Amino acid sequence: MIERQNEAEVEVTINGKKIIAPASLSAIQAVWYAGYSRVEGVGCLEGVCGSCSVMVRRKDDKEVNTELGCQTFIEEGMKIIFLGFPTPTHHTYQLTEIQTSWEVQGQFHQIFPEASNCRACGGCNRSCPKGISVEKGVKLASLGKFQEAGDLFIECVMCNLCMTNCPERIAPNHVGLFSRRVNAYFHIRPANLINRLEEIRQGKLSVNKI
């Protein structure tokens, strides 16, 4: 139990259960305060972000927002649901199997074929609790601009909220992770040159052989 003395308490509903706790606590701390397990599903206690994604509805507010439980402080009448997401299994790759950085963009579109189907609906941007320009990052990666894409995802905590809000089932956070990994693994060539090589590979650009 987390001890708090002489603090104003509020009543919130977390995963359908009424909890009374000090208003200075985050959603996760409120759960612990109520006596629930401190370790179940919370990886930050072991040095890795637990991606404590929550859906939040505040009192007298019809809107439901997606946030992180560790950053969301409880308020009177707030309703919170902790979300659990399966890790997507349809994106598998080994960087060691990509022979050179010239092949990265082609391999990217084989690993993430749905990335080029982005509808620009903005759902991923609205759902990101870190304020990342997720949609822009996916577009940059699709264009072979992996360094720029990777830089955008520096603050990503892999909470999967962007993935669950994508109608095309793109996993933007994994796109960002791929971008960061290839930047570390390869010395990436200029994006415009990689783009032209990819167009040649796809048959979109003809080359006169000498």
In a domain, 208, yes or no: no
Please indicate, yes or no, if residue 210 is contained in any of the structural domains: no
pTM for the structure as a whole: 0.67
When pLDDT is averaged across residues 70-88 and rounded to a whole number, the result is 83
Residue at a domain's end among 54, 82, 110: 82
What CATH number does residue 124 fall under? 1.10.1060
207, part of any domain? no
126 plus 164 within the same structural domain: yes
- CATH code at 16? 3.10.20.30
Number of compact structural domains in the chain:
2
Residue 53 near residue 161, CB atoms below 8 Å: yes
Domain enclosing residue 168, as ranges:
95-201
Please tell me whether residues 33 and 118 are part of one structural domain.
Answer: no
pLDDT per residue over 169-191, tens digit each? 899 999 999 999 998 888 766 66
Question: By C-alpha distance, which of 53, 46, 45 is closest to 71?
Answer: 53
Contact (CB, 8 A) for 98 and 72 = no
**Are the C-beta atoms of 23 and 74 separated by less than 8 Å?**
yes
